[in-house]
């Protein structure tokens, strides 16, 4: 496995692969990898000759009061995990090389970003869209793999690839969970034992709502209430939103649910912000 930090070396190395007509898959990450990331890499492994993982904590997707400085990092461990997942090339650039100056040109998705997580994280998805576009241009992958855990991000990036005519197939990886249901996230490491125990309310609420949906409950407000009740039972939970939206355009869905939908949750436990979601297919 190769580790590349320099943008020019990356381009040269990938040009060589392309000359040999090898297909490329990209799995963008912010590092501090967990089984969720590794599942994406193994998925990528099945769809391309060369699997590239980027490890880059992108400053432009963090707000001024967010956890950029504190975001967990462990490159040596990450490299071992990438190797174990069959990654061929890790791209780990320096922020000064990715942004040699304040960015003048940005990619954004105003309507899709102006809801759910975007409301409490202004500029976040513009940062995500911009850095992913840059990575797409640097790597020029045939395939890119993103996790369903970041549901809004996935919807926006699928729109990005489609609307900007990028010749890239987007694959989605299912959310990987702890044994008690908590969705894997690099930010879970922030949780103290009490918060960690209570955080399972998110997935328990989502599973309960899905069960009720499969049992025939079709009123969005009733389904949302099931999740809210699970969160409200936890003294440390500070729910940010529980919403039921169309899976395609993220707009709120009204009764009865007649299109693929998603219940999406953001909830803080202390300073730790967790998100999760579940799909409902009528």
Does the protein bind a second copy through residue 248 (CB under 8 A)?
no
The rounded distance, in Å, linking the Cα atoms of 170 and 141 is 10
Does the protein bind a second copy through residue 11 (CB under 8 A)?
yes
The answer to whether the CB of 6 falls within 8 A of the CB of 12 is no
Q: How far is CA 61 from the centre of its chain?
A: 12
8 is an active site residue: no
Site for a second copy in 107-136 (CB under 8 A): 107-112, 129-130, 133-134
Q: Number of residues interacting with a second copy: please give it, by CB under 8 A.
A: 29
Closer residue to a second copy (CB): 7 or 217: 7
Tell me phi and psi for residue 239, to 5 degrees: -65, 135
Query: Least CB distance from residue 209 to a second copy, whole Å?
Result: 27
Closer residue to a second copy (CB): 90 or 129: 129
Closer residue to a second copy (CB): 45 or 124: 124
* Catalytic position from the list 8, 20, 37, 255: 37
Closer residue to a second copy (CB): 35 or 249: 249
Does the protein bind a second copy through residue 96 (CB under 8 A)?
no
225-244 mask for a second copy (x: CB under 8 A)?
--------------------
For 131-147, the DSSP string reads HHHHHHHHH--SEEEEE
Side by side, the strands of the sheet bearing 143-147 are 2-4, 89-91, 50-55, 24-29, 143-147, 169-173
Residues forming beta bridges with residue 54, ordered by sequence position: 28, 91
Query: Least CB distance from residue 163 to a second copy, whole Å?
Result: 4
The rounded distance, in Å, linking the Cα atoms of 85 and 44 is 10
Site for a second copy in 160-199 (CB under 8 A): 160, 163-167
The rounded distance, in Å, linking the Cα atoms of 264 and 154 is 13
Query: Least CB distance from residue 37 to a second copy, whole Å?
Result: 23
Does the protein bind a second copy through residue 140 (CB under 8 A)?
yes
Q: Is the C-alpha dihedral spanning 226, 249, 127, 12 positive or negative?
A: positive
Q: How far is CA 18 from the centre of its chain?
A: 27
Binding site for a second copy (CB under 8 A): 7, 11, 101, 103-112, 129-130, 133-134, 137-138, 140, 156, 159-160, 163-167, 249
Q: Which residues are known catalytic residues?
A: 37
């Amino acid at each position: 496995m190769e580790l590349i930090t320099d943008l020019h070396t990356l381009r040269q190395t990938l040009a060589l692969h392309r000359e040999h007509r090898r297909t490329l898959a990209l799995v963008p990450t912010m590092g501090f990898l967990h089984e969720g990331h590794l599942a994406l890499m193994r998925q990528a492994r099945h769809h391309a000759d060369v699997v590239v993982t980027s490890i880059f904590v992108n400053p432009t997707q963090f707000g001024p009061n967010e956890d950029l400085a504190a975001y967990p990092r462990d490159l040596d461990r990450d490299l071992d995990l990438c190797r174990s997942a069959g990654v061929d090339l890790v791209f780990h650039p320096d922020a000064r090389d990715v942004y040699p100056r304040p960015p003048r040109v940005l990619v954004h998705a105003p309507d899709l970003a102006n809801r759910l997580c975007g409301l409490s994280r202004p500029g976040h998805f513009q940062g995500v869209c911009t850095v992913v576009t840059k990575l797409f241009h640097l790597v020029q992958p045939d395939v890119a793999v993103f996790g369903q855990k970041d549901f809004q991000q996935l919807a926006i990036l699928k729109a990005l690839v489609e609307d900007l005519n990028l010749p890239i197939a987007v694959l989605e990886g299912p959310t990987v969970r702890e044994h008690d249901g908590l969705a894997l996230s690099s930010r879970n490491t922030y949780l103290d034992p009490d918060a960690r125990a209570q955080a399972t309310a998110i997935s328990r609420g989502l599973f309960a709502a899905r069960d009720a949906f499969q049992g025939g409950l079709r009123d969005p407000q009733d389904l949302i209430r099931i999740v809210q009740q699970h969160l409200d039972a936890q003294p440390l939970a500070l729910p940010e939103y529980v919403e039921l939206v169309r899976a395609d355009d993220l707009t709120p869905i009204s009764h009865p649910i007649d299109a693929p939908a998603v219940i999406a949750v953001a909830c803080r436990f202390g300073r730790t912000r967790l998100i999760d979601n579940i799909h409902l297919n009528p």
